[in-house]
Structure 1
Amino acid sequence: MQAAPREIDRYVEMRECRGMSAGNVDFATLRALFDACADMPTSEQKAFVATQPDLDEQQRSMVLAWLQADAAADRTERSDVVQTLGNDWVQSRHAALQSYWFGRRIGPFLVRELLGQGGMGSVWKAERIEGGFAQRVAIKLLATARPVSAVQMQRFAAEREMLAGLRHPGIAGLLDGGETEDGVPYLVMELIDGQPIDTWCKARASSLGERVGLLLQACSALQAAHAALVIHRDIKPANILVDAQGQVRLVDFGIARVLDASMADAPATAQGERLMTLGYASPEQLRGDPTGIASDVYSLGLVAYELLCGKPAQADSALGLVTQIRQICEDDPPPPSTVGDAGLRHAGLGRELDAIIMKALRKAPEQRYPTIDALAADLLRWQNRQPVDALRADRWYVWRKRVHRSRGALIAAGLLVGMLTAVALNWRWQSLQLAVERDKALVATRFMSAMFERANPASHLGKVPDAIQMAEQGAAELLQDSDLDAETRALLCHTNGRVLLALGQFSRALELANRGLSVLPQEEPAFAETRVELLLLKAEALAEMADWNDAVASVKDARDALAEVRDEDARRWLAVRLLDRQARLDLDRHESAAVAANLPKALQAANALVDAEMDHTPLDARRQSARELLASILLTRCRHSVAQASSHAESYCEQAQSYRERVFPPDHPGRLNALQELAVLAGNRGEGQEALRLSERLLAQTRGVFGDGHPRTAVAALNLGVEYRIAGRYDAAEAQYRFAYAVLRQTRGESHPHTLMVRNNWANVAYAREDFDTALTLHREVQAHRREQLAPNDPELAQSATNVAKCLWRLGRWREALAELDASMVPEEPSARRTQTMLRLFLEMQRGEFGDMESRITRLQQEIAAASPDTRGSAAIAWLALLYLEHRHADHSQLQQAWQALREAMRRDDGRELVSEREVASWERTHADIVPASASAD
């Protein structure tokens, strides 16, 4: 029996057009060889394979093994045998990939570990080995070692361009890209430390509600991609990762396709190039039909099916390939509640979720949810116990659902029928009640009218009062007895208090919050919502005044009062606001563990709130308020990551700033918040000019929004002063500190942390000028204030102890300096801890105590290398190393190498605290044999 000529022709054509060489053959070519030999007699098969010059021995043995398996199988479906062929290929390619790429350099990265491979390419864990900072990334590149085709090059270029435009907290970001020395395109992506969504849920025995919450996060990320005209086309659990904080991250847009008419004829779905995962592919993908948003809806429906009931919906691997494809295209899976885990089913997996999932899994794309948002909206309706859209056609279901949700109202209506006879007796009471409400409205109107009347210039000798004066006058009126009823007075106290809070009048805002709380009847559920609002206002004011303990107590009181709020919608909103306020309080109190534990809950709740409000128009106040809440929580995550020197800090802060720019209009103060954190990160990377530019921009914009007298303007000036000091512009730094101190002392008081921070940084300028006596006096003042108001383990007390010890050391009072450090706690923040350790080493060196100094210096060098691109402290470490080598009488070459390392570190390290140009220059003058004459001027 001879092989079909067309099959041999196809094999030869593939071999020639792909430029095969020995051992460099892809699976498609081996499969074509298998098809060419399958109908030959066994003796001819072996001879034909042996004559192929492109194969190595392993590949020849593999093809012959496939042919033996084919001969022994039921030949009714050759594709059933072909399915097993890929397993051998994958295993061999896995070994080949490991051998080829492991330990190779790609751009500035070193390849470390194969994370996975698929139809589009392979994904590797890699580490940055140049650029001055440590970074772990995921690198995606083509899985084949042969020359890359033009089609694949085009697809990779499209993927890179597409990924660069996707910005969403739930989508892994693109960091870099290019081609290897071999011409293989690669993408460098954010490395997500997480687990596939199904694995994550199993490991934690997540409840049904928690699983739906994760699906909603995935919906939010996928909808953002669709909004950018991008579909994923390979949605599966392995591409939906969940980190330790419960945040969903969508990864691997490797086979995504831009939704653009110009791509309609792109070769991404040409024969042999269909890239998908069979168990999560849509029918139209398998048929080779055009794919769009509906395909992602289907695949996410498959993930939801498996996540909610614990079993996959399609593609049983025990079936043959053709059978699997036919099943996916034609057969509906059973409803998830009929196959699900009993525990999940008892928790609510029933008809409604069945309908939602099965609508997403309809075979015809036009019968599914039209968008991911529509699917998310139905999941939210299920969460909120509202009628789901997937069952909208069942009028009896909708009626029962509404009756269930409104049973109280219906019962009341029934009772009303029985009470009609009492209406006539009750009409007078109702009219009296209406009169009371009318009188309350008139009194409130008169109060507001009087406030605006007081703005009349005629009442102020021609001077128009500013916003602060008007708010202060309103506050004075509210704090006095008047004819306002209790509820109206409380609401006006809250409104006026929030205005005063925004204007920086924190003590007056606190007075109004307390006044409003005092007039509300205690333990009255009808006023619970107003009580929570006032307690939140009180917590905000106390936090601005750095009264952390009372602020925490107010949040706790608000949380207790929340249980009494009757309106479900109001209770949901207030709960998210409380989570936001608690997270910011924890951050201000340096409670990093509490922030890490509570931030994921706050983010999930805020995302759910935003998703729930998506039905409102973009300008709707509720929708905008929900987005502003999410923006606040994203900023808290950014600030926390910066404080913890997290590797995610830059990504989180860029996300926070990007989201704020979408949420707030151009001149809104909400756009300013993340700029300072981005400036800090730029400084940590050694980009002093960028940090200075951002800080100058922040002060100019803050001043434009709030004016010169607002504490936020003063804080922006304080931060700009820090950048001026680092740049050596001491006069400019002092000018900013002088302005900031005047404003903060007046608005926040002498002992407020921000006021003390100004004094602390002012002292640092004196230290940089080597005026150590003045610096010591100022640092002692700051330390005394902090001891009065901070807990013994507060990081700012450790900062003061280090600053005082530095001054004492420079003044030659090293015993007092050591005593100061011994009495202090070790800072948790890495940079502050390194500074204190280095200072202690300098002091011990001064005392002649060298002991284990070499190992400690080595550890510090390793720490600073790991902290890269944050170079702070590198110059001091290099100075320590040079002095230690000199003590050991190291040879000339070692000292010269250490000196060169010191000079290089001093060029990079803008934040030098423990080494000065003067003392290094003095050392160089006494070591002319080590320092080249041409370099001594450095």
Structure 2
Amino acid sequence: MQLERWHQIKDLFSAALEHPTADRAAFLDRTCGNDIELLAQVHSLLDAHESSLGFIERPAIERAGLAPPFEPWDWQGRRLGNYRIVSELGRGGMSHVYKAVRDDDQYYKEVAIKLLRPGLDTQGLLQRLRDERQMLAELSHPNIAQLLDGGVTETGAPYLVMEYVEGQPIDEYCEERGLSIPARLDLMRTLCGAVHYVHQHLMVHGDLKGGNILVTQGGVLKLLDFGIAKLLNASSEASQALNNQFVALTPAYASPEQIRGEPITTASDVYSLGVLLYKLLAGTLPFEVPAELFGRDAAAASGDRQPRLPSIAAEQGKIASYRRIARQLRGDLDVIAMKALAREPEDRYGSAEHLAEDMHRYQRGFPVHAHPPRALYRTRKLVMRHKAATVASGLFAVAIVSGIVATAWQAHVASNERARAERHLAEIRKLTNTYLRDVYDAAVNLPGATEVRKLLVENSLKHIAALESESQDSLEFKRELAQAYQRFGDVQGDYLGANLGDTEGAVQSYRRALRLREQVAQQSPTLADVSELLRSYVSVSELLAAQSKLDEAIELAEDADDIGQKLAAMPGATAPEHRMAAAARMLLGTNLSTVDLPRALEALQSARATFERLFAEQPKNPGARRDMALIHSRLGFAYARAWQYEQALEHYLPASDYAERLVAEFPADAAALRGGAFALNNIGEVYNALGQPDQALSRLQLALERVEHLLRIDPVNEQASVAVAYVLNQLGDSYLLKGEPATALTHLNRALRLVTEAPPPKPTDIAEVRMLPGMTNFRLGKAHALLKHQREAATFLAASLTRLEPLTADPVVGKDAQRLTEEARQLLQSAS
């Protein structure tokens, strides 16, 4: 929008406010004449549909006087879907938020439900709420309030079901508990991490303030309310529409460009983070902007002047606790806050992550990037970090006074600092290498080791990341950091191993490892470094394919295959390098299985030839046998996806044979038990598809025993819980095929309990996890239909359609979902 146009709209809006509400429409009709767009913009401004709602906050639109207060919409006691509304939590310009509970006899859970306020069900605002739902659906972060569900009311208005957060605004939380500066900085760094995650998903929040950031009694921070969030990768048309759309932001926290009505960017969120940091440190806002001011009036409240330094604001403030800490803010904390609050976006921190990094550097006593890089400043920081060296520093100072040349002193300090950093780095490397290589490798396949692996990697990452700024582009450091991220990704969501169920977190960790290894391989294209780079390509591609993001997964797999062929051709390449090259080609074949079967089989057979050669050379090597089990499993998968079950069985059977030999040789190895269970389940699933349930049952029973054992000894392992529910589904299917629906129900009801107790599937979960609720409900409906339980059958079949229909377009499981939905509709028709 042109700035002049905005001023015209704003001035007309102000004039309209001078008229009684009943007379405004006639006034606008007279003033706007034939300018329909101008009329629509002012009406939109008068509607003032702010959605900057914390759960407990009175809406800014009412405080500003832009709309009269309204009476609560009486939803208490009513139901929306499976949720019963208990009480009102708050109101925004656009919406009400209610506390509700899920009490549908499956489980009890407190939630928050966001509904459009009455009278605002315009098409534009309905779309705004739908957009917010889509944005939240793409975010899965421990410090962001999670979207749990959604639906539409009887009148067709969408609503959001969100995680209920019982907490205080971050500034009130810090104030009430009298938190120390380090504790406040820890909370701010956590918040920066959540905001950076939002930015990585190509969104900006747009209304960061205390009321939208709650901290629970347990100290867990939660970022709320994406009501005015904006997509950064929107189309030009959509982006323009967003820019032209008025949002009732909070002026005291809004960046100068937001107040001027310009497009918001990630830099706008960085500014708001700076405002919040300023308030947590100084006890006051950098600029006190009255909530009723907008546009030019709000900008004029601060003008072009800079805010006082936080240390000065704290010292001159009325709150004694802040006056006492004012001296601690001088220097680094002052410059950090002021850099975040720079008027021009390009002068601020480049990202929320960079702001968090500078706060962390301050906490550890390192020079902060916001401070001018002067030698004396760096020397002072060094002395503060190493207080034991202050006596030596004093002696050097005397020497300087005696005439030692300043440049020699600076060189000496730099040399000492480098040497000290190198010694420190060497000590930490030794410790983390022990964690990441020796201890981790010893624990990785131990049953019940998921929590141990998580702690090992988290501690290693913490120590390594603390030294990142001192790495001086060290290749060795980048190798170690990449290894830490790779293994953390394995713990988070390696879907073939024990994991915490955080698939998207695993993708992000794998991507970090990949970026680091690309840098290393570019400078050091050795066999070892190229092999590790290939490992990262395979990990990212494999998990993206499991998430049904096939386009990017196939592209990465093709890149991996190219790298693999170059690796195998490098001088000195031996069996490990040839194995990695074959693994990359196997991945390419697997990813192509659902879109191009001939090309997939060609790649898989090529990989098989390499694995068979390596197995012939080392038949007693457990890794070679594991590769043989895996390649036959992937070939079986390719045929099964094409519903060519006889051919699939020809590969699933030998895959199971290889896997069982590993189980016999390593009975306490969790990976061997898991691989053996998966192989047995694959055979059982194919025999069911062929209508031979008796052949399936014995294998599925053994698979169930193994995955139940893994779940009992490792309850933190989310993959084990999913595996149990999945095998129970196949057992239920076998008994349905045998005509024993009552027996099928015993297994399927157990599967339903596991599915219900698990967090709701997210769009970023692997395809099998997203498919499991719909598949379970379908088979339960089918069992009840066979038992003539018409009401129960209709309930479960309808639930299965709700969960399966969105998956029919999925590139991985779409055909299976389509087949089940068609059968569910037929059964539902019969049941009714």
TM-score of Structure 1 vs Structure 2, range by shorter chain: 0.5 to 0.7
Partner of 1:558: none
* Contact kept in structure 2, 1:125 and 1:137, CA below 8 Å: yes
Aligned pair partner of 2:278 in 295, 305, 308: 305
* Contact kept in structure 2, 1:11 and 1:29, CA below 8 Å: no
Partner of 2:771: 871
What fraction of aligned residue pairs are identical, expressed as a percent? 19
Distance 1:415 1:813 in 2: 85
SS in 2 for 1:95: coil
Partner of 2:567: 706
Name the amino acid aligned to 2:580.
R
Is 1:800 matched with 2:676?
Answer: yes
Distance 2:347 2:454 in 1: 36
Is 1:664 matched with 2:518?
Answer: yes
Question: Which of 1 and 2 has higher RCO (CA within 8 Å, sep 6+)?
Answer: 2
Partner of 1:499: none
Query: Taking structure 1 as reference, are residues 142 and 634 closer, same or farther at Cα in structure 2, changes over 3 Å only?
Result: farther
Aligned pair partner of 2:662 in 782, 791, 807: 782
1:786-840 residue CA offsets vs partner (Å, 9 max, x unmatched): 21x62xxx36425536756998995699599679939971546133212443566
Counterparts of 1:803-818 in structure 2, within 5 Å, are none
SS in 2 for 1:825: helix
Distance 1:530 1:357 in 2: 30
Distance 2:561 2:751 in 1: 38
Is 1:277 matched with 2:250?
Answer: yes
* Contact kept in structure 2, 1:140 and 1:188, CA below 8 Å: yes
**1:779 CA displacement:** 4.3
Counterparts of 1:417-456 in structure 2, within 5 Å, are none
Aligned pair partner of 2:442 in 548, 564, 585: 548
User: Which has the larger Rg?
Assistant: 1
SS in 2 for 1:707: helix
Is 1:351 matched with 2:335?
Answer: no
* Contact kept in structure 2, 1:170 and 1:218, CA below 8 Å: yes
Name the amino acid aligned to 2:751.
L
Is 1:758 matched with 2:638?
Answer: no
* Contact kept in structure 2, 1:269 and 1:275, CA below 8 Å: no
**1:777 CA displacement:** 4.7
1:226-266 residue CA offsets vs partner (Å, 9 max, x unmatched): 99999865331344578999798697382769899x99x99
Query: Taking structure 1 as reference, are residues 855 and 657 closer, same or farther at Cα in structure 2, changes over 3 Å only?
Result: same
Name the amino acid aligned to 1:704.
Q
Partner of 2:641: none
SS in 2 for 1:275: coil
* Contact kept in structure 1, 2:213 and 2:222, CA below 8 Å: yes
Name the amino acid aligned to 1:837.
L
1:382-436 residue CA offsets vs partner (Å, 9 max, x unmatched): 324356688879999888667656635424536879999xxxxxxxxxxxxxxxx
Name the amino acid aligned to 1:673.
S
Distance 1:547 1:5 in 2: 71
SS in 2 for 1:653: helix
* Contact kept in structure 1, 2:649 and 2:683, CA below 8 Å: no
Distance 1:294 1:776 in 2: 54
Partner of 1:436: none
Distance 1:645 1:398 in 2: 43
* Contact kept in structure 2, 1:169 and 1:655, CA below 8 Å: no
Partner of 1:649: 503
* Contact kept in structure 2, 1:680 and 1:691, CA below 8 Å: no
Q: How many residues align?
A: 685
SS in 1 for 2:207: coil
**1:277 CA displacement:** 1.6
* Contact kept in structure 2, 1:672 and 1:702, CA below 8 Å: no
Counterparts of 1:371-770 in structure 2, within 5 Å, are 371=349, 379-386=359-366, 404=384, 407-413=390-396, 530=426, 533=429, 547-549=441-443, 591-594=449-452, 612=469, 632=486, 635-636=489-490, 639=493, 649-650=503-504, 653=507, 656-657=510-511, 660=514, 664=518, 670=533, 673=536, 676=539, 678-680=541-543, 682-683=545-546, 693=554, 697=558, 700-707=561-568, 709=575, 710=577, 711-717=579-585, 719=587, 736-737=607-608, 739-740=610-611, 742-743=613-614, 750-752=621-623, 755-756=625-626, 758-759=628-629, 762=632, 765=636, 768-769=648-649
Query: Taking structure 1 as reference, are residues 635 and 335 closer, same or farther at Cα in structure 2, changes over 3 Å only?
Result: same
The answer to which of 402-411 and 242-251 deviates more is: 242-251
Distance 1:206 1:245 in 2: 11
SS in 2 for 1:784: helix
Counterparts of 1:221-370 in structure 2, within 5 Å, are 234-239=207-212, 252=226, 254=228, 273=246, 275-281=248-254, 299-308=272-281, 335-336=313-314, 349-352=328-331, 355-356=334-335, 359=338, 365=343, 370=348
The answer to which of 594-603 and 341-350 deviates more is: 341-350
Name the amino acid aligned to 1:700.
D
Distance 1:537 1:870 in 2: 37
Partner of 1:95: 73
* Contact kept in structure 2, 1:835 and 1:873, CA below 8 Å: no
1:584-637 residue CA offsets vs partner (Å, 9 max, x unmatched): x6x997633345567777777777766x589x8xx8979977985786477447
Distance 2:84 2:28 in 1: 29
Distance 1:388 1:692 in 2: 39
SS in 1 for 2:507: helix
SS in 2 for 1:234: coil
- Backbone CA RMSD of aligned residues: 7.8
Query: Taking structure 1 as reference, are residues 835 and 407 closer, same or farther at Cα in structure 2, changes over 3 Å only?
Result: same
Distance 1:153 1:144 in 2: 12
**1:214 CA displacement:** 4.4
SS in 1 for 2:185: helix
* Contact kept in structure 2, 1:198 and 1:307, CA below 8 Å: yes
* Contact kept in structure 1, 2:607 and 2:631, CA below 8 Å: no
Counterparts of 1:883-902 in structure 2, within 5 Å, are 890=788
Partner of 1:430: none
Please give the TM-score of this superposition, normalised by the length of structure 2.
0.55
Distance 1:255 1:816 in 2: 48
Distance 1:403 1:235 in 2: 37
Query: Taking structure 1 as reference, are residues 802 and 750 closer, same or farther at Cα in structure 2, changes over 3 Å only?
Result: same
Query: Taking structure 1 as reference, are residues 147 and 823 closer, same or farther at Cα in structure 2, changes over 3 Å only?
Result: closer
Partner of 1:837: 728
Please give the TM-score of this superposition, normalised by the length of structure 1.
0.50
**1:303 CA displacement:** 0.9
1:341-378 residue CA offsets vs partner (Å, 9 max, x unmatched): 9699789944346634774698x947996446686676
Name the amino acid aligned to 1:653.
V
Name the amino acid aligned to 2:442.
W
* Contact kept in structure 2, 1:392 and 1:398, CA below 8 Å: no
* Contact kept in structure 1, 2:582 and 2:611, CA below 8 Å: yes
Which segments of 5 or more consecutive residues in structure 2 lack a partner in the other structure?
1-13, 31-39, 48-59, 102-109, 404-419, 523-529, 570-574, 637-645, 685-692, 762-767, 828-832
